[in-house]
Amino acid sequence: MTQTPIDTPTQTPPGAEVRWLDAEQQAAWRALLTGTSVLFEALGRDLEHGTGLSLHEYEVLVRLSEAPGRVLRMSVLAEELVHSRSRLTHTVSRMERDGLVSRCSSSQDGRGVDCMLTDAGMARLEEAAPVHVASVRRRLIGALSREQLLDLGVAFNQIDDAVRAHRS
Amino acid sequence: MTQTPIDTPTQTPPGAEVRWLDAEQQAAWRALLTGTSVLFEALGRDLEHGTGLSLHEYEVLVRLSEAPGRVLRMSVLAEELVHSRSRLTHTVSRMERDGLVSRCSSSQDGRGVDCMLTDAGMARLEEAAPVHVASVRRRLIGALSREQLLDLGVAFNQIDDAVRAHRS
DNA sequence: AACGAGTAGTTGAACGTTGTAGTAATGAGG
DNA sequence: CCTCATTACTACAACGTTCAACTACTCGTT
């Protein structure tokens, strides 16, 4: 059923022949690709249906709730969430319109903007958290042994480090 | 720095107290969340810059190239890629406009539509594959031991199964 | 053979994201 | 103290995705 799609690799820059993935590597990579899609789709749907928040909005609330004074610079927030600045601006604008966060220009650095969690935002987070935690337990944690979960954490930290190192 | 954001969980439906995640589970889940964002962002950018294809478009090409006759029903393709039907329709419409695939209504079932990889699409895939494989090697495979990678594949297959089982 | 229920795919509008510019504030060098 | 480079964020437009109809076909009943 699965025939090799490509057996004559085209040339890459100078003389660098590409080593293809073997069957096991292929399968693992494919499982990661599909598994993450299925997982995040399910988590997003659970949260959306249960609380009206998207995963991204929820993450914004979480990060702010953990910050001292419940305040973070927009750029720091963008960095933590791995979002573009532009994307974060839009997301935060919507959340500000809904009263979950508020913005004011930073006192330290006139260029910066501070984003603060409002009481309403905190209340919304407290309401959403049990729904989300239950969802994560059911979809992710329940599917793995404790060791598998922790190994998975280690692996993704390594991946994260590798990717960031490769473009500094 | 990281204070507990929520210590008084609100009530969930009937008497079901939520068990919170312990610190290790939290850390693992957070690593997964951030790691996948960083990884897919990097893979997407590598591919986009190197070939002008998005990861999604690339996956469409791959699945078609592996199918017998390089043809798949739209619904099968949507299922494999974990995309909504509507999303796939839009994506395929753009790809058809660019000459990478073609569509014709299925001879078996008048409701169905077959999507076929064109020669141009196959050529485009052969051109993109080495770029993508190199990227996956660099970002993902190079960051892990072989065993870690295979374990990761196993874990995501379990997650996939669990999620799908929970909504059949 | 005609109905209704169900399935397959498309459409269009609303929404969210990305990329490209643009504005504003800081800070180093002349 | 003025410029130029840098950093921080926002605005706008192009693009992609989602959601809710809508069309078209199939299949099991009656």
Q: Return the domain boundaries, chain B.
A: 41-163
Distance CA B64, CA B22 (A): 43
In this complex, which protein residues place their C-beta within 7 A of any atom belonging to strand D?
A: A 48, 73-75, 78, 85-86, 89, 92-93, 103, 106, 109, 111-113; B 54, 56, 83-84, 86-87, 90-91, 94, 109-111
| Cβ neighbours for A31, distance < 8 A, ≥ 6 positions apart | B152, B153, B154, B156, B157, B160
pLDDT value of residue B132: 96
Q: CATH number of the domain at B41-163, please?
A: 1.10.10.10
- For residue range B97-139, list pLDDT tens digits in order: 999 999 999 888 889 999 999 999 999 999 999 999 999 999 9
CB-based contact B3 A66, cutoff 8 Å: yes
Confidence of residue A110 (pLDDT cuts 50, 70, 90): confident
CATH topology of domain A38-161: Arc Repressor Mutant, subunit A (1.10.10)
Give the side-chain half-sphere CA count within 13 A for B37. Answer: 16
**Which nucleotide is nearest to B45 if distance is taken from CA to C1'?**
C18
The pLDDT of residue B13 is above 90: no
Q: Note whether B113 contacts A: Cβ–Cβ < 8 A.
A: no
Q: Which of residues 114-143 of B touch A (CB under 8 A)?
A: 125-127, 129-131, 133-134, 136-143
- Predicted confidence (pLDDT) at residue A49 exceeds the cutoff of 60: yes
- Output the pLDDT for position B12: 45
The DSSP secondary-structure symbol of A103 reads E
Say what the pLDDT of residue B16 is. Answer: 60
Is residue B168 over pLDDT 70? no
Is 70 exceeded by the pLDDT of residue B1? no
Instruction: Mark yes or no for CB contact A149/B10 under 8 Å.
Output: no
Q: If 0-12 CB within 10 Å is exposed, 13-18 middle and 19+ buried, where does residue A61 land?
A: buried
The pLDDT confidence band at residue B36, using thresholds 50, 70 and 90, is very high
Burial of A27 by CB count in 10 Å (0-12 exposed, 13-18 middle, 19+ buried)? middle
Is there a contact between A158 and A134 (Cβ–Cβ < 8 Å)?
Answer: no
Q: Does B18 touch chain A (CB under 8 A)?
A: yes
Which residues, at least 6 apart from A14, have a Cβ–Cβ distance to it below 8 Å?
none
Nucleotides of D under 7 A from a protein CB: 7-12, 16-21, 24-27
Measure the CA–CA gap between B166 and B168, rounded to whole angstroms: 6
pLDDT at A2: 42
B43-65 residue pLDDT tens: 999 999 999 999 999 999 999 99
* CA→C1' distance for B104 and D25 (Å): 15
Q: Which of B18, B37, B152 is nearest residue A130 as measured by Cβ atoms? A: B18
Percent of chain B scoring above 70 in pLDDT:
90
Would you say A131 and A52 are in contact if contact means Cβ atoms under 8 Å apart?
no
Q: CA nearest A61: which of A48, A70, A73? A: A70
Question: Residues 6 or more apart from B49 whose CB is under 8 A from it?
Answer: none
* Residue that wins the pLDDT comparison between A61 and B108: A61
Extract the tokens encoding B46. 């590598």
Q: Of A2, A141, A147, A156, which to mutate for an interface test with B (greatest number of B Cβ within 10 Å)?
A: A156
